Amino acid sequence: MSSNNKTIIIRLRVDEATAKAIRTKANSHFNGNISACIRCATLQYDGEATPSSANSEIPALLTAILRQLKKIGTNVNQTTHQINERMKVSPYGLSASDIQPFVFFRNDLSAIWVHLNQIKIKERL
């Protein structure tokens, strides 16, 4: 698999912390040879990639969205049940105050929209 004729050059972009970590590993294990360090790491590694810090926040945002959706669902069910009970007593008794809770649900949906936009931004990173 390995050849002594290593003529292909691959450019690699990393941040300062990653560059420092690569240099440190190369210095301690490969006599400073960064290419050998990266080759070894690539050929030896067969696990899953470690998520970046931006991607690690996505599960938390999804959990917040799920919590908001459950809250909205519960509130919609309760409000609908109350309206249905009132309609049984008086079919024409629906008032603006009965519909008011649905206006409040818009605020909860706005919070979900904010979380979704945060996820969208983090996926671009």
Position 14 scores a pLDDT of 87
One DSSP character per residue, 30-71 reads STT-HHHHHHHHHHH--SPPPPPHHHHHHHHHHHHHHHHHHH
The residue range of the domain holding 65 is: 53-124
pLDDT of residue 53: 57
Pair 38, 8 in one domain:
yes
pLDDT at 2: 54
Tell me, what's the pLDDT at 94? Answer: 77
Q: Is there a single domain that holds both residue 57 and residue 116?
A: yes
Half-sphere exposure of 8 (CA within 13 A, CB side): 5
101 and 117 in a single domain? The answer is yes
The answer on 114 and 62 residing in a single domain is yes
Number of H helices, E strands in the chain: 4, 0
pLDDT value at residue 23: 92
Segments of the chain with pLDDT less than 70: 1-3, 48-56, 122-125
12 is written with which tokens?
């690699």
The answer on 65 and 7 residing in a single domain is: no
Give the model confidence (pLDDT) of 88-106 as tens digits: 888 787 777 877 877 777 7
**Two tokens at 19?**
């560059």
- Tell me the pTM: 0.46
Q: For residues 65 and 107, state if they share a domain.
A: yes
Residues 43 and 59 occupy one common structural domain: no
Q: Let me know whether 120 and 81 are in one domain.
A: yes
pLDDT at 55: 61
- Say what the pLDDT of residue 122 is: 65
The per-residue pLDDT for 120 is 72
Instruction: Based on the fold, state whether residues 59 and 43 are members of the same structural domain.
Output: no
pLDDT value of residue 107: 77
58 and 119 co-located in one domain: yes
Note whether 12 and 22 are within 8 A (CB).
no
As a whole number of Å, the CA-based R_g of the chain is 28
Domain count, the chain: 2
